């Protein structure tokens, strides 16, 4: 008896006639085909994604700088996939962030196969405050590193950020012997004077720059480093 060659088959799930190439072969029967077509099998394996999470009250979404169309960031510090996301499951979905060892929210963003880790607070600041000026860092005003709402973020110089961290108790202050023989640079001295003029206490400045309070007092009182403005 000649072997019958199946060229078409009726899929019992999607109820359509499809060419034999649209079905996987059965392992147990050499010429048999599976009852459901490849596409139906694929859909059955992967459960339907849950619907996109609704926005919170007053939540505003803006594109992530450098990832326009791919990702969006909100004024609640959340990140979601944009319509360009090649995986449909990520479109409009809130992405889960990871809290880094230092307590900051980080998130992996990928575009064109390149995956990069980003700080969520930097994405929010860039979208809602503006591009980060050269040399400045993002500061969490209330000291809570996971509170990434734009109102809680601001750009500061690294040393002002350090002072803020000491004042809010985020970083331990280096005092006495622990601060070593700190040598200040001219730009640090200028920065100390500027920060002192803007209301930062001499004690906080001494701790942030790792020098003695007497040293800071001399700088602010222009008893030392008199050649600088």
CA distance linking residue 215 with residue 218, whole number of Å: 5
CA angle, 121 as apex, 142 and 137 as ends, to 5°? 80
Nearer to Zn ion, 12 or 222 (CB): 12
Binding string, residues 108-137; x marks residues near Zn ion by CB under 5 A: ------------------------------
DSSP character at residue 128 = H
Number of CB atoms found within 10 A of residue 215's CB? 19
For position 40 contacting Zn ion by CB under 5 A, the verdict is yes
For position 25 contacting Zn ion by CB under 5 A, the verdict is no
Pick from 33, 37, 184, 208 the residue near Zn ion by CB under 5 A.
37
Least Cβ distance, residue 14 to Zn ion (angstroms): 3
For position 33 contacting Zn ion by CB under 5 A, the verdict is no
Pick from 9, 11, 193, 211 the residue near Zn ion by CB under 5 A.
11
For position 12 contacting Zn ion by CB under 5 A, the verdict is no
DSSP per position, 155-179? EE-HHHHHHHHHHTTSSPPP-GGGG
Number of CB atoms found within 10 A of residue 72's CB? 22
- Interface with Zn ion (CB under 5 A), residue total 5
CA distance linking residue 216 with residue 204, whole number of Å: 10
Would you tell me which residues interact with Zn ion (CB under 5 A)?
11, 13-14, 37, 40
């Amino acid at each position: 008896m000649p072997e019958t060659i199946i060229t078409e088959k009726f899929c019992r799930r999607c109820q359509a006639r499809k060419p034999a190439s649209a079905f996987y072969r059965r392992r147990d029967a050499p010429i048999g085909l599976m009852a459901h077509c490849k596409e139906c099998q694929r859909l059955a394996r992967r459960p339907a994604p849950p619907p996109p999470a609704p926005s919170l009250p007053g939540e505003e979404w803006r594109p992530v700088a450098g990832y326009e169309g791919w990702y969006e960031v909100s004024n609640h510090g959340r990140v979601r996939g944009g319509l360009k996301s090649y995986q449909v499951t990520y479109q409009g979905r809130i992405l889960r962030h990871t809290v880094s060892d230092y307590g900051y929210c980080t998130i992996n963003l990928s575009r064109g196969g390149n995956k990069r880790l980003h700080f969520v607070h930097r994405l929010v600041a860039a979208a809602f405050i503006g591009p980060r000026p050269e040399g400045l860092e993002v500061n969490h005003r209330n000291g809570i590193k996971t509170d990434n709402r734009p109102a809680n973020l601001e750009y500061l110089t690294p040393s002002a950020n350090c002072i803020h961290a000491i004042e809010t108790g985020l970083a331990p202050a280096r005092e006495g012997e622990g601060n070593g023989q700190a040598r200040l640079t001219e730009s640090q001295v200028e920065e100390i004077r500027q920060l002192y003029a803007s209301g930062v206490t001499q004690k906080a400045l001494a701790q942030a720059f790792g020098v003695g309070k007497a040293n800071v007092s001399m700088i602010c009182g222009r008893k030392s480093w008199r050649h600088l403005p």
